[in-house]
Amino acid sequence: SQQGEEDPQALSIQEGENATMNCSYKTSINNLQWYRQNSGRGLVHLILIRSNEREKHSGRLRVTLDTSKKSSSLLITASRAADTASYFCATAPIQGAQKLVFGQGTRLTINP
């Protein structure tokens, strides 16, 4: 099964509201990354958080990482219609397969 699992699978909110997506994983990681994908297009890297970091900010994005719970969250504040996309977490496991492992994603819809 996938290393990272996002929750919820789909989220629909009003423009201006905050959106929170969660990611859980199973094994120890080097880092965790969040990517955005607009429908049918390539993934865009949003933020990378290392295993020794707890929180990171980039513009309207805030990512937290709790390695004891093996979970991460992505918060998008003051959402805009352009934030409508799928959001994926990707984990870089320390052991095992030498690859980024992507979750199934959260589909975020921002309603005007």
Give dist(CA 13, CA 110) in Å, integer.
5
Count Cβ atoms below 10 Å from residue 24 Cβ, excluding itself.
Answer: 18
Nearer to other proteins, 29 or 76 (CB): 29
Q: Among the candidate windows 7-15, 64-72, 74-82, 103-111, which touches other proteins by CB under 8 A?
A: 103-111
Restricted to residues 40-99, the positions that interact with other proteins (CB under 8 A) are 40-45, 48, 88, 92, 97-99
Write the DSSP string, 23-44: EE-SS-EEEEEEEEE-TTS-EE
Give dist(CA 43, CA 39) in Å, integer.
10
When asked if residue 31 is in the footprint of other proteins (CB under 8 A), the reply is yes
Q: Among the candidate windows 7-15, 28-36, 63-71, 74-82, which touches other proteins by CB under 8 A?
A: 28-36
Binding interface with other proteins (CB under 8 A):
2, 30-31, 33, 35, 40-45, 48, 88, 92, 97-105
